[in-house]
Amino acid sequence: MTNYKLSPRDWEALSAYLDGALDGPDQARLHTRLTNETGLNAALRQLEQTRSMLRAAPQRRRPRGFTIPAALAAKLRPATSSFGLWRLVSAAASVLLVAVMAGQFLDGAAAPMMATMSEEAPQAFMLEMAVEESATAEDTAGAAASEIVPEEADLAMEDEALRSSPASKMPTQITLSPEQLVWGLVVVVAFSSWMAWQQWRKLPDR
Amino acid sequence: MDEIALIQAAQQGDLDAFNRLVLHYQDMAFNVAYRLLGEDASAADATQEAFIAAYRHLDRFRGGSFKAWLLRIVVNGSYDELRRQKRRPQTELEPENLEGEDNAEPAWLADPGAGPQELSERAELAAAIQRCLKELDDDFRSAVVLVDVQGLDYSEAAQIMKRPVGTVKSRLARARTRMQSCLQGFAELLPDRFRLKTEEA
């Protein structure tokens, strides 16, 4: 009898049986076993005794009351949770990441993805800068400039401006490899997820 | 007590209504915290913090069992406190006698009408249960405290633990068998009616 072994499932069934939490067929099956297996019956009685002991555990007397005084309540403003916001940011970043990765695969771009500015755009920008500079130079140029044909003067100024203006030192391309893009998004997703996790941990009823 | 009306009033900012809820649940909340933490001061702090958190986040309660919602906050707060204690272990301040055993705990003597023998037995039983609870894993301890010690049903315990009812059932079964093994070690100290008759098994 003392060697009677119960499986974890048996113990679980006995425990649920004690609380009347077994389904009809399971309860009937266990009931039959209990009438035939004295070891199982003894285990049930032991478990019942343990439960009785736990139920008889005296309640601990609390050392004080826990009502909230008005002075404290005045300081306790209702908490405003930014959990929802961070969850939204996290979700948006995740969607963006998936969209970018899907876009890359659909493009079949084996070569590095280039976010290239158009060729015309920087030149137009630089020309504009040059014309502005030349306008100030024109005021001090004097009579020598007036001898030159206007169209030629404009072209000469543009060429000079393109060579000497700070705008000519601007990069003409901004290159982002797929890895850089993905890593950037991963960082955003990780950060927003971490913030959401921190907010969630502060919830008392999480 | 019209609990729903009190909750609604408290959600509108009525502190008296909230404090009536506190008065109704404070014994249970403290006892759950005490069973999980095993110490009066920590349990009192965890209970107070739980009520403060409940007051601040009352707008998050959207119906259902207020008791389950509140005890969930108590259980979470108690486990936060346990984790803090594990990170910063402290020497226990419980009074001990010359043999190094805990002194009888007067806080258990809630019934002034009980005789000395009964009080002594209660104290022994309470101490034995508390020591055995301490040996259990967190989830097992929650299951046995909520269902067996506090008398909640499976579904309430499942809400508090945020676990499916099936999980609560299996954890409770394992917790009971572990408690049974552990309490057998205190057999000589327990009242006759609670001495486990292992020889019959």
| Contacts B76 to A, Cβ<8 Å | 204-206
B96 in any annotated domain: no
One domain, residues B26 and B85: yes
Q: How far is B100 from chain A (nearest CA, A)?
A: 23
Residue B119 confidence (pLDDT):
74
Note whether B56 contacts A59, CB cutoff 8 Å.
no
Q: Which helix (H) or strand (E) holds A87?
A: helix A83-107
CA dist A125 and A172 (Å) reads: 11
CB proximity under 8 Å: A 157-186 to B: none
Render each residue's pLDDT in chain A as its tens digit; 206 residues: 445 788 999 999 999 999 999 988 999 999 999 999 999 999 999 999 999 999 988 899 999 999 999 999 988 866 555 556 666 777 777 777 777 777 766 666 555 544 444 445 455 555 555 555 555 555 544 444 444 455 555 656 666 655 555 555 555 556 667 788 888 888 888 888 888 887 777 787 77
Note whether A65 contacts B26, CB cutoff 8 Å.
yes
Q: Which token pair is B194?
A: 């609670």
Residue A14 confidence (pLDDT):
96
CATH of the domain at B136: 1.10.10.10
Name the one residue in this structure whose structure tokens are 């032991």: A46
B201 in any annotated domain: no
One domain, residues B122 and B187: yes
One domain, residues B71 and B141: no
Give the residue ranges of chain B where pLDDT is below 50.
93, 95-106, 108-109, 199-201
Residue A166 confidence (pLDDT):
55
Q: How many Cβ contacts (< 8 angstroms) between chains A and B?
A: 157
Amino acid residing at A21: A
CA dist B74 and B81 (Å) reads: 10
The reply to whether ipTM tops 0.90 is no
| Contacts A21 to B, Cβ<8 Å | 154, 169
B185 in any annotated domain: yes
One domain, residues B112 and B186: yes
Q: Domain ranges in chain A? A: 8-54, 83-120+149-202
CA dist B32 and B152 (Å) reads: 11
- 3-state DSSP helix/strand/coil % of chain A, to nearest 5: 70, 0, 30
Note whether B125 contacts A52, CB cutoff 8 Å.
no
Residue ending a domain, among B90, B121, B136, is: B90
Note whether B177 contacts A62, CB cutoff 8 Å.
no
Find out whether B4 and B22 touch, Cβ atoms under 8 Å: no
Range of B186's domain? 108-194
B98 in any annotated domain: no
From the list A52, A59, A67, which residue is nearest B27 (CB)? Answer: A59
Nearest alpha-carbon partner for B193 in B124, B143, B146, B145: B124
B172 shares contact with chain A (CB less than 8 Å): yes
Nearest alpha-carbon partner for B131 in B47, B4, B33, B35: B35
Q: What is the CA radius of gyration of chain A?
A: 40
One domain, residues B43 and B114: no
Residue A75 confidence (pLDDT):
86
Task: Give the three-state DSSP class for B179.
Answer: helix
For A78, nearest residue in chain B (alpha carbons): B56
Residue B103 confidence (pLDDT):
45
Residue A159 confidence (pLDDT):
61
Q: For the purposes of burial, counting CB atoms within 10 Å of the CB of B31, is it exposed (0-12), middle (13-18) or buried (19 or more)?
A: buried
B100 in any annotated domain: no
CATH of the domain at B40: 1.10.1740.10
Note whether A54 contacts B179, CB cutoff 8 Å.
yes
CB proximity under 8 Å: B 120-149 to A: 122, 125-126, 129, 144, 147-149
Residue B178 confidence (pLDDT):
95
The domain tally of chain B equals 2
Note whether B26 contacts A62, CB cutoff 8 Å.
yes
A53 shares contact with chain B (CB less than 8 Å): yes
One domain, residues B40 and B71: yes
Q: For the purposes of burial, counting CB atoms within 10 Å of the CB of B70, is it exposed (0-12), middle (13-18) or buried (19 or more)?
A: buried
One domain, residues B80 and B152: no
